[in-house]
Chains A and B, each alone.
Chain A
């Protein structure tokens, strides 16, 4: 018995930190979600009322839908871009690769708040995007992208695509380096072209990396906060309001800590389910 438990001793420090700073706060949040509490005065037990409101309030439901739209821009597009760039960069080693990789990795290094501010300028009335459009004779489609009811969510999504594409590419490039070069040689001997090689050799071997990328980017989309907070603050109207923003707003401005906690719990569960599905689908069926 003693021997069996000794192993846990080594885990204990990490486990203690994890319990204190991740598990307990999460449980505390779940606990708070059963209260009507303004953050200061005495709260009152309301059972599942907050959850009922999360599912009934159109504003809260709408924010979850917005987050799901963002998954397209934060997860699908970056993975496609990452795969395309990997296909272009991985086949041959050329000088200057490190510089390329650094360039595409830059968005990951810059703080998201700075990214948001920069893009707000790019999207601005006389920002680079509108100037370019006017310059090539498309003056008719210029607009304040972040203030447009139809385009604001897309505009915010594109920022996410820009940030996360580099991350996906890095993941895939490092995955490609693990692939046995003999496989490529064999494919080429069989007369495979660049596309065939990518589809038949590279892609299947990147299965694990794609699953990781999909998990990380989906979580980034559903839990997004900084980019939206800095660029649009959820506007115009509620077009770009996401759950992360509402959790913050409900808890700290509106004094509805219980409702914010309930929304946080629902959001976490949604993320867990999606991550589970992704991992299930990407598992090798053997």
Chain B
């Protein structure tokens, strides 16, 4: 009898401790709510003054793209502002986009950070500064293409309440179609197509000649670039941009996008893509293109340097053509751009660096590193395929035809796009079903 009672009492101790711990946990609940230690202050704007104080200043810059270019830009900037030191810190892109929201919300946030998907959210929280006053004082509207600044002006409510600006672009990017001039000639193709219909005739001619028409690296992003290129030219850009920005009532399921998506599945059915598109990464599809495995290739300007080196004058570039020869030149693209932390003590110095990105000196560095310069007039047009990319980019800029990549719609849009296009290529989903799945993700984010 004593024995059992002793055992029972012994068992009661841990139970009591557990109950106490649970009670503590529950009473402390409000403080324990995740995220409660990082209260946002709401949107914040840079001070009106752009005057850099005359003192020794050190700025920390965190980024994920083009380390060589960043080093060169910093060195050139230092020549103009000897008292401002910029300490760069490089993180691989995949890790960068995973961590940037957290590091910008921390007390030790860097002064300048490369802009990434999700920055709109932390702008709304006030972790990065609205640069609109600097834009007006420095005249950035003049130095940078309007479409690229618009891409940095926030989404949802931000986009509709006044003209905000959360970053400044250094190098620009753009997608399009490369072609192998030598192989194309064998299929009787003499030059870039003027319309979408002509491009389809060229694809058919290549197929007829026994070659693979279009190389697509759909294992990662190549498939969504192709889909976006078709949507860019078949859906009115204004509707598309409303969708990306999360405007009320916007939808990706329209007559035009259904036709565009249907075109992609039709091309796949007709065997226009490399047979293993779904198992080929973009880098691999580019390698295959240089070896003559396909006549056309969907990719971006970032591949131009490699192609120029490997293929010389054999490589050409054009934008996915519109339905009419007179159609507006539209493409997908973004920029390597930089934002300023609201925790910086030197917004003026950081602003001076961003302003420097629009200068002719910066443009030269940007071009040397394979990106398109914000101010195309500042540098001579390069030769070969790089020149063709630059010329097509000027056309897009003139037509204000630069669209956001579709994955900028929501942080979790990339995977449905990638997986969805793979299914379209394999005929595992209907165009309507694919667009529905994208719209569901959009709705979850925008709640409309």
A interface residues with partner B (beta carbon < 8 Å)? 31-32, 35, 37-45, 123-125, 143-149, 152, 232-238, 249-250, 252-257
Contacts and interface: CB of A to CB of B under 8 A. Distances in A.
A124 B284 contact: yes
Contacts of A41: 35, 38, 40, 121, 125
A40 B97 CA distance: 14
**Interface majority SS on A: helix, strand, loop or mixed?**
loop
A265 to B, nearest CB: 15
B198 interface: no
A42 B35 contact: yes
19 contacts: A38-B121, A40-B35, A40-B125, A42-B33, A43-B36, A123-B279, A125-B284, A143-B275, A146-B279, A147-B219, A147-B278, A147-B279, A152-B279, A233-B418, A235-B219, A236-B218, A238-B419, A253-B411, A255-B411
Contact of A124 (B36, B122, B279, B423): B279
A125 B35 contact: no
A257 to B, nearest CB: 7
B288 interface: yes
B39 interface: yes
Given A31-B32, A144-B280, A257-B34, 6 more contacts: A35-B33, A39-B35, A40-B35, A149-B428, A237-B428, A255-B412
A255 B34 contact: no
A37 B34 contact: yes
Nearest to B441: A254
Contacts of A37: 34-35
B419 to A, nearest CB: 5
Nearest to B218: A147
Interface residues of B, number: 41
B280 A125 contact: yes
Interface in B242-300: 274-280, 284, 288
Contacts of B277: 144, 147
Q: 5 closest A-B pairs (Cβ-Cβ)? A: A147-B279, A144-B279, A144-B276, A147-B278, A254-B412
Contact of B34 (A43, A123, A124): A43
A143 B276 contact: yes
B426 A149 contact: yes
A202 B438 CA distance: 56
Contacts of A249: 412, 415
Contacts of A233: 219-220, 418
A237 B415 contact: no
Contacts of A236: 218-219, 278-279, 419, 422-423, 426
B98 interface: yes
Contact of A255 (B32, B33, B118, B125): B118
A224 to B, nearest CB: 18
Contacts of B125: 40-41
B414 interface: yes
B280 A147 contact: yes
A32 B34 contact: yes
A253 B414 contact: yes
Interface in B153-202: none
Nearest to B424: A237
B428 A125 contact: no
A234 B423 CA distance: 13
A254 B35 CA distance: 16
Contact of B102 (A39, A43, A237, A254): A39
A39 B118 CA distance: 12
Contacts of A143: 275-276, 279
B135 interface: no
B207 interface: no
Contacts of A32: 34
Given A236-B423, A237-B428, A238-B419, A43 B33 contact: yes
Contacts of B34: 32, 35, 37, 42-43, 257
A253 B280 contact: no
B101 interface: yes
Interface string B116-152: 0010011001000000000000000000000000000
A43 to B, nearest CB: 4
Contacts of A43: 33-36
A144 B35 contact: no
A155 to B, nearest CB: 9
B268 to A, nearest CB: 13
B105 interface: yes
A208 to B, nearest CB: 32
